[in-house]
Amino acid sequence: MSLENKNILVTGGAGFIGSNIIEYLLQKDNKITCLDNLITGKKENIEQFQSNPNFNFIEGDITNIKDCDLACNGNEIILHQAALGSVPRSIENPIRTNEINVNGFLNILWSAKKHNIKRVVYAASSSTYGDSQKLPKVENDIGLPLSPYAVTKYVNELYAGVFSNLYNLELIGLRYFNVFGRRQDPNGAYAAAIPKFVKAFINHESPVIHGDGSQSRDFTYIDNVIQANELAATTVNKQAVNQVYNVACGNQSFLSDLVEKLKELLSKFDSDIENLAISYGDERIGDIKHSLASIDKAKNLLNYQPSHNVEEGLNAAIDWYWNYFNNKN
């Protein structure tokens, strides 16, 4: 079912994932409210929407209940993307991470209840699997968290379960696995792996892999995440509601292979890149070694079918990054 002609709140809408969701939803004649405090989100990500009469930007904070109430008023669905991401950042500042990811999430749920918003789809995280060694990762089998960030995302799932039982809300969590794609910030200490590697190559620098490169991830292109949010927001399958789902490709990519693939793709634009060496550094505290998702549950209950495998996603993302960096220069 398509998400059309609805009033939708997207929290964290100026961020990488949120802004891509908004762009898609505006094309389907939805009226969008974007709530973002611009700590990690960027005005440039939503600049193109400002002239659209169906777009309303509220510069506010999910840790402020009044901002949440203002944003929720008049909306039918919430796509909650707002969070303070990054495992390393959560290790450096667990208090701030908890304030935003837990207190902010609770505010959104409470405001949803007050404003009779029945369906809330929220961004969960593969970090919830913690120290579990089992592959692929299956939703009902998790380990112990390895970082404050992982704790906060698991607490979100616990609160969602409580609110669905106590207040009859329809809550669906999407455990994102290493999302990448257009508008993903390549700058800063907490930039995700793929844009960081790409930026290094384009600048003729050696990308640095934390560890020996044998660690693996289930890299997931942004369009798959948009699809999952739409399916979760529109499903009428009662069995699909009040559940948590893996959102991934179901493919295991080793970091050393991924970086080599990025080098190959970027070398088509700049032949000097193929001569750059790859550097290796210390493993990061709190990182998991291997990640691979089972997406059977999402396929069976939400009819989720990834539109892009890893290679297709990388090809699309590389084109975007090449244009992005060249326009910046």
pLDDT tens, 57-104?
A: 999 999 999 999 999 999 999 999 999 988 899 999 999 999 999 999
- Tokens of residue 125, six digits: 């995280």
Q: Can you tell me the distance from the alpha carbon of 105 to that of 306, in angstroms, rounded to the nearest whole number?
A: 27
Comparing CA positions, the residue from 284, 286, 261 lying closest to residue 274 is 261
Q: What is the DSSP annotation of 107-154?
A: HHHHHHHHTT--EEEEEEEGGGGTT---SSB-TT-----SSHHHHHHH
DSSP secondary structure letter of residue 81: -
Question: According to DSSP H, which parts of 203-279 are helical?
Answer: 222-234, 255-267
Distance CA 163, CA 24 (A): 29
pLDDT at 162: 98
For residue 193, give the nearest of 18, 59, 310 by alpha carbon. 310
Give me the pLDDT at residue 84, please: 95
Name the architecture of domain 7-180+221-250+292-307.
3-Layer(aba) Sandwich (3.40)
- Active site (annotated) includes residue 280: no
- Predicted confidence at residue 31, as pLDDT, reads 98
Bridge partners for 232 per DSSP: none
Q: Where are the domains of the chain?
A: 7-180+221-250+292-307
What pLDDT is attached to residue 230? Answer: 98
Residues of the chain with pLDDT under 70: 188-191, 328-329
Task: Tell me the backbone φ, ψ of residue 322, rounded to 5 degrees.
Answer: -60, -45
| Whole-number pLDDT of residue 189 | 63
Contact yes or no for 299/305 (Cβ under 8 A)? yes
- Cβ proximity of 101 and 89 under 8 Å: no
Give strand pairing partners of 280: 209
Q: Which member of 149, 221, 304, 321 is catalytic?
A: 149
DSSP string, 267-317: HTT-GGGGG---EEEPPPTT--S---B--HHHHHHH----S--HHHHHHHH
- pLDDT for res 211: 86
